Amino acid sequence: MKVQNLRKDDFYLPILRLLEALGGSASIEEIEQRLVDEFAFNDADLAETHERSGSPIILNRIAWARSYLKLAGFLANERRGVWLLTESGRLALAEGEAAIHSRISAAVREYNTRRKAASEASAAEEASPDELSFEPAAMTEDAGDWREQLLTALKAMDPTAFERLSQRLLRESGFVKVEVTGKSSDGGIDGVGVLRMNLISFQVLFQCKRYAGAVSSPIVRDFRGAMQGRADKGLIITTGSFTADARREATRDGAPAIDLVDGELLCDLLKERRLGVTVREVRSEEVSVDRLFFQQFN
């Protein structure tokens, strides 16, 4: 199957199956790696990007598949980066692929109807703070996807500006003494910070890659070599993605682990901390009729 012909629908059933096989939960990296192996994607496949936004096609489709499965109630993600198979998702596996697609389509129609009604209501009257509840962006894969818009803005930044943004993000995430070194001959190390966790602190070296494609394993390997003996952990932040070999290299046995932040996770982190992202809260209502109320008039 050509990457350009992939649809989010192609991943619905595989995601549900692999979550069941993994005991009902999995990280984003586990989901992506299992799907890469199952579909036999190679590094060239993973490096293919959307022409307009530059986001990786395969990982983008997987992310949308997760979102649609969540909308239908088949998945949940109560913790950032960890996805859970719900009881509804387990039952859907027994119903078959056609039923899964049908229920997702119905959930999308219902969501868009609610969103339209909520938008019209908020335009008619101002909601009080107690009535506000957050809803994600409309379920559509056009240019209105906020992640694609955000990645486009990030990739348009000057490399040094992107390093300063990464510095700000790390500070907002609990790092202290975050410095951007800016040394081009320092083995790919762009900065250093200290991650303080209660009574324990870790020295962390980080690298920023303002990429449109995928970061390969040699980059991860060279970065590890440069950080050897200089820090407790390493961190690579990119606007692109990581090849399967790069992810394996980052967690290779017997070598210092390197944490990877790809474009999708970077967008989520910026959204959580409201850095360059404005979240507009939308009022929503659920109306039901209390039949017992009317019986008192009989």
**Nearest-angstrom CA–CA distance, 100 and 85:** 14
**Nearest-angstrom CA–CA distance, 268 and 113:** 26
Note whether residue 241 is domain-resident: yes
Residues 81 and 16 placed together within one structural domain of the fold:
yes
Distances in Å between the alpha carbon of 185 and those of 181, 188, 189, 206? 10, 7, 9, 14
User: Residue 19 belongs to what H/E stretch?
Assistant: helix 12-21
**Nearest-angstrom CA–CA distance, 276 and 279:** 10
Residues 156 and 258 placed together within one structural domain of the fold:
yes
Tell whether the model's pLDDT for residue 136 goes beyond 50: no
Note whether residue 259 is domain-resident: yes
CATH code: domain of residue 40: 1.10.10.10
Residues 97 and 155 placed together within one structural domain of the fold:
no
Residues 261 and 165 placed together within one structural domain of the fold:
yes
For 172, phi then psi, to 5°, come to -70, -20
Q: For residue 296, what pLDDT is reported?
A: 73
CATH code: domain of residue 219: 3.40.1350.10
Range of the domain at 42: 3-101
Give the distance between the most distant pair of CA atoms in the chain.
Answer: 86
Does 114 or 20 have the greater pLDDT score?
Answer: 20
Q: For residue 87, what pLDDT is reported?
A: 93
Residues 156 and 268 placed together within one structural domain of the fold:
yes
Q: 222-251, pLDDT tens digit by residue?
A: 999 988 888 889 999 999 888 888 988 998
Q: For residue 145, what pLDDT is reported?
A: 75
Predicted confidence band of residue 134 (pLDDT cuts 50, 70, 90): very low
Residues 91 and 168 placed together within one structural domain of the fold:
no
Residues 176 and 268 placed together within one structural domain of the fold:
yes
Six-digit token pair at 116?
């339209």
Residues 12 and 90 placed together within one structural domain of the fold:
yes
Tell whether the model's pLDDT for residue 125 goes beyond 90: no
Tell whether the model's pLDDT for residue 133 goes beyond 90: no
β-pair partners for 120: none
Note whether residue 140 is domain-resident: no
Note whether residue 87 is domain-resident: yes
Among positive and negative, which fits the CA dihedral 101, 103, 109, 115?
negative
Pick from 85-94, 176-185, 226-235, 265-274: least confident = 176-185
Residues 159 and 261 placed together within one structural domain of the fold:
yes
Note whether residue 268 is domain-resident: yes
What amino acid is encoded at 180 in this protein?
V
Q: Among the three residues 101, 136, 161, which one is the final residue of a domain in this structure?
A: 101
Note whether residue 131 is domain-resident: no
Note whether residue 31 is domain-resident: yes
Residues 34 and 95 placed together within one structural domain of the fold:
yes
Count up the domains in the chain and report the number. 2
Residues 83 and 176 placed together within one structural domain of the fold:
no
Give long-range contacts, CB 8 A cutoff, 24+ apart: 100-104.
100/12, 100/13, 100/16, 100/72, 100/74, 101/9, 101/12, 103/72, 104/12, 104/68, 104/69, 104/71, 104/72, 104/74
Residues 21 and 91 placed together within one structural domain of the fold:
yes
Q: What is the pTM of this model?
A: 0.63
- Burial class from Cβ neighbours inside 10 Å (0-12, 13-18, 19+) for residue 285 reads exposed
Tell whether the model's pLDDT for residue 177 goes beyond 80: yes
